[in-house]
Structure 1
Amino acid sequence: MSERVVREPDRRRRRPTKTGTVLSEQVIVETALRLLGQHGAEALTVRRLGAALGADPSALYRYFHSTDDLVVAITDELIARAQEGAEPTGDWQRDLREIGLRIQHAYRSHPQAAALSAARTTGRQHEIRAVETILGILRGAGFPDRDAVRLYHVFVDQSLAFAALDAAVAALPAAAQAADSAVWSTRYAGLSPDTHPHIAATTPLLIAEMNRSAYPLALDLLLDSFASRLPARG
């Protein structure tokens, strides 16, 4: 999808496509997510999107100027899904933990899209709501504004870094995932205590630990470190 600007009054059309679908930004984003999940990043072309929607590819330019514009919208959709159903409790650590785990789940549920989205900043509705929510939690907990902004930065970057890593693992073919997982119980379990005493002593623990995400523990450690920086009240 190359850059091509369509005049704003002409950007929206409500005629159904050949498949009876009425095009909208949301419908295109959801279709793009489905194609990414099935075929990877190479599916993100106007030709394939148009075919999946039953629409002339040129109709997509009424909603997105370019593929990058669509990727930004996909990013914002993942952010929206990470916030769906979240209910604040008033406990700042509990609320931030819930947000972090929701981010991980949303991105891991769409690993192909996560690879394109984790490093993007959208400036769109759902991202703005997320920034406002997280800053509100930190400021409400008592962190001064400078600390709230810095801790927001650390929290979001850690969440997205782990989300991207876990999504990359989830995006691997099943055979590659199984082979990587087996390395701990084959190669590492066979190392001699004479040459690798620390690995040999902890092999059962390594096998159990290294085949799951480290994010929940990393998140708890991060939030504990936040708490240690909280100014004393009163």
Structure 2
Amino acid sequence: MRKRWSKQHILDAAVELLSGSEGYDSFSMRKLAAELGTDSSSLYRHFRNRAELMLAIVDHVLVQAMHGYRREGPWRARLLDLTLRSWDAYAALPQLAKDTSHYPGSGPGSQLVIEETLQALSDAGVPEERIPEWYHRLVTLAVSLISAHAAGQASGPTERKRRMENFRLITLGADPADHPALAHYGRRIEPIGFTRESFLATMELVLDAVPARQDPLSHRTAASG
């Protein structure tokens, strides 16, 4: 008798499959069903199509990322915690993360992230009429950086090496007469890409500009461990 899998089990299996070597580009309802030892009809009882499944996976990843989160500490520390939880959650799923902007979450994980971001901005003393604006800025930046990093990681070592070679050719081969600054700094600049540390530093810069009325108790200490 064919086993009927729960929605939770299907999502867990989907994340496992997406973290494998073949990744997102070859991901399909058929392959997921085969991984579960069933057929696609079992999945369609829970998800109407692949797009709906992807929405649920994105939200499922956020639910896992928010496990153990507490609304404690300064607003700035909480916002950094929220963004780093998302970064870490998608670090193991670059093929999915590079397309997260195509699949905005639509479930409890997304609701929790949005709620806690708005609450932190409110606790910071941001004027009420400006909270939606700053929510949008923070989330747009975080998703963009996570997606950009994931796209680079998902391209594979050969493609990354080729891009690095092209970048070095451009920077080290600059004519000082035409591009004096590039020639001067060329050996010290890196191609576009983000590590966890540079992601954190970028988010810190944006948080410096938040029109907060309440100072965090410990400035620039969140998530440093």
TMscore range, shorter length: 0.7 to 0.9
* Alignment counterpart, residue 139 of structure 1, candidates 122, 128, 151: 122
Give 1:45 shift. 2.4
Q: Percent identity among equivalent residues? A: 25
Q: For the structure 1 residues 232 and 98, does the alpha-carbon distance in structure 2 shift closer, same or farther, using more than 3 Å as the test?
A: closer
Q: How many residues are paired up?
A: 212
Question: How far apart, CA to CA, are the structure 1 residues paired with 2:16 and 2:177?
Answer: 51
Q: Which has the higher helix share?
A: 1
User: Which runs of structure 2 are paired with 1:36-51 in the superposition (5 Å)?
Assistant: 36-37=18-19, 38-51=21-34
What amino acid maps onto 2:15 in structure 1?
L
Determine if the alignment matches structure 1 residue 220 to structure 2 residue 201. no
Give 1:114 shift. 1.6
Give 1:109 shift. 2.0
TM-score, normalization by structure 2: 0.82
Q: Deviations over 1:2-47 (max 9, x none)?
A: xxxxxxxxxxxxx774xxxx62212212222233333233433222
Give 1:120 shift. 2.7
Determine if the alignment matches structure 1 residue 230 to structure 2 residue 212. yes
Q: For the structure 1 residues 232 and 177, does the alpha-carbon distance in structure 2 shift closer, same or farther, using more than 3 Å as the test?
A: closer
Give 1:76 shift. 0.2
Higher relative contact order (CA 8 A, sep 6+): 2
SS of the residue aligned with 2:131? Answer: helix
SS of the residue aligned with 1:216? Answer: helix
Contact kept? 1:83, 1:102, Cα under 8 Å? yes
Contact kept? 1:35, 1:43, Cα under 8 Å? no
Q: For the structure 1 residues 85 and 174, does the alpha-carbon distance in structure 2 shift closer, same or farther, using more than 3 Å as the test?
A: farther
Counterpart of 1:27 in structure 2 is: 9
SS of the residue aligned with 2:38? Answer: coil
Give 1:66 shift. 1.5
- Tell which deviates more after alignment, 216-225 or 177-186: 177-186
Give 1:134 shift. 1.0
Structure 2 residues without counterparts, runs of 5 or longer: 216-225
Question: How far apart, CA to CA, are the structure 2 residues paired with 1:211 and 1:41?
Answer: 20
Contact kept? 2:71, 2:116, Cα under 8 Å? no
User: Which runs of structure 2 are paired with 1:158-169 in the superposition (5 Å)?
Assistant: 158-169=141-152
What amino acid maps onto 1:36 in structure 2?
L
TM-score, normalization by structure 1: 0.79
Counterpart of 1:60 in structure 2 is: 43
Highest CA radius of gyration, 1 or 2? Answer: 1
Contact kept? 2:152, 2:193, Cα under 8 Å? no
